[in-house]
Structure 1
Amino acid sequence: MENILRPLIVIGGSIVLPLLIGWATDVLLRKADERHSETPLWGLLRRARIPYQVVLCAAVLRGSYDEAKLLEGYEVGIGRVLTLVLIGATAWLMVGIAAAVVETSYSHYARAHRDPARVRRVRTQVTLIMRVVAAIVAVVAVAAMLLTFPAMRAAGASLLASAGILGIVAGVAAQSTLGNMFAGFQIAFGDMVRIGDTVVVDGEWGTVEEITLTFLTVRTWDERRITMPVSYFTSKPFENWSRGGAQMTGIVYWQVDHSAPVEAMREQLRDILRECPAWDGRHYGLDVTDATTSTMEVRALMTAKDADDIWTVRVTVRERMIRWLAAQHPYALPRVNTADAVVPPGHVDGRAFRDGSPPRRVHDTPRSGDR
């Protein structure tokens, strides 16, 4: 009877006790979150309750398994498995706690500072720091798992002796990867581009959606995702419309006839902008910037508070101005001239007469008096 009850009591207690401790801790965190709603720390820490309970269960089982006397002869293997689970769960818990602390710090900074550019810069840096922390914790956890095997400990000396050669080989093989990693740090702390910035890369307009240590994702206006290495932004020029402030100036061009009423177009532009909510009211203007033999180029300038609003203002002004010209001044729209060409004096069919007298028409017939 003792051979049955003893393992059940030890194993059952090793599982039930950590679960109760985890449940009590979760209740305390939930109450703290309700009491201190100004900080998201306690709510974020609750996300790590699963690895917390796994750590408790693995630690208690690892310490009490020898007393259970269950599956005798397999104590070493089961103990090693529990150790591996404990190391992995501990690493998972550390990453969760670090993420909660970093996210809380970022939320406090975002509430204290109203500058969107600075907030996006800190967000980019925090994201990359968390990825680095997670990578370091994962590497340390894997190394600790490997060191639990005696063969790995015995081979430690040889591994250290060959570390220099392996490091050189790995550095040459992963040159592009390392370059992208350093470029990621340069972007994060050099404030070149931030999450949420509006950029133009390779002719594509979009918003930076994600930045990692090796790649960057841009979400275009039509909801496509362009993924490119971060080294692109450190080696090639690109447009950052959010750099130095979100306010922007937009341009709209029209090709119109030379007889177009420019003054009336200025007044109509003013009326269109006054009815457009996306216009910020800072500035507008309309000028003739070029002329050809058939049309003249008219340019309109308008301002908005950010890239999204400037796009709305541009398409609104372009559409409504063309509609107004077509309805009120159709003669101002470009058209193809189909009138007969005026022949210069003394020319006919491309030939000039020496005396300058007008040529006789081909279909004219000589009269009797001219014979």
Structure 2
Amino acid sequence: MAGHTASEVHRQAAELSGGARGIVGPLKGYHHETYALPLPEENLLSARYARGKLRAPRPGVLWFDRRCFTSEDRLLMALQGRIDRIPETVEVAENVFLQGFIEGRTLARWQLPGRSLAAGHVLQLRRLFRELVTIKVDELKDVPRTCETHGQRPACDDDSTAFLSRLIDFTGQRVYDDNAEQYGTLFEELGVRREALAGLGDSATLLTSRPFTLIHGDLHRHNFIVDTAGALWTIDWELAMIGDPLYELATHLHLMRYSPREEARIAELWAQEVEAARPGSSASWQQDLPRLLAYKRTQSVFTDVIRTAEALGPRTDPNWRALPRAAWKIRRALAAARDPLELKSVPTLRQVVSAYTRWFRLPGDQSAPPRA
């Protein structure tokens, strides 16, 4: 499906559903063009789902995260019966996959950041943590791997130091270096220096190794669906990888924006669950978690600076009205990563707006940016 245009994907959805009526989409998503479609009675999923979900990679998008698997769908098929409450997936034609569509609301719509999770959702999250660490590396050997690591397959050696080092290298090379010609001046004006990654690399040498396992890699509120019965489902496994299980916790805590008290509670519950399921999975977690969180916060800044510029539109005609809110998010990310980025001070909102304004404005551009 790679390289298909939105209209081609829509036609595929219409063909699978027996007509274009009732198709919803494209749904929100950065990496994929996604449609929800009614399922005809003869479809393999129709006994359990009212609708299916068809996804195709968006051509030309930048990937800011290191990946391990070429196909989210094939991974989901391998995880059926091993991970509870994930979409059932079937191959309806050669390399064309249909996922069951989970009816409900995202956890983001169910509950605002900063609020404690409902007791039932905490129990389901604990089960997910436990299930993930029981998936061993060799159990996924038949799921095709990707080479999103500069030509080298992801190592599966239970070496947490090497794992974090590979992540840092990916951010430096694929996110910063590959985009420096276009975005380098913007990074510089915001005080974001590539050299900050070197400090993270020094910190990585202190990590304790933990047995590698499957990592979802993107457990945030928009990737949890609360169904009509209140159960929590986990979707969007496109960033899944093999690696240090503590990275799952670090990513989850960073993305969920829990209150400090809730963050501490979830971290303790994670440690209890993974250690009981697979001894050694939580080794030295209290010492190593801050180091992994420092990487996640730094990675987010490198990623968000570019994504924000992309989201604001073409350089010749950016969406100036959206800039103040986008700048607020960038400033929040910079504040969270102040220490690992070695920032003497966090840019003000006005300074962030000014940095993007100068980057967007080309010679002869007469469009007027807003006042900060």
TM range (shorter): under 0.3
| TM-score after normalising by structure 2 | 0.20
Q: Larger Cα Rg: Structure 1 or Structure 2?
A: 1
Please give the TM-score of this superposition, normalised by the length of structure 1: 0.20
> Relative contact order: is structure 1 or structure 2 higher (C-alpha 8 Å, sep ≥ 6)?
2
The structure in which a higher percent of residues are strand is 1
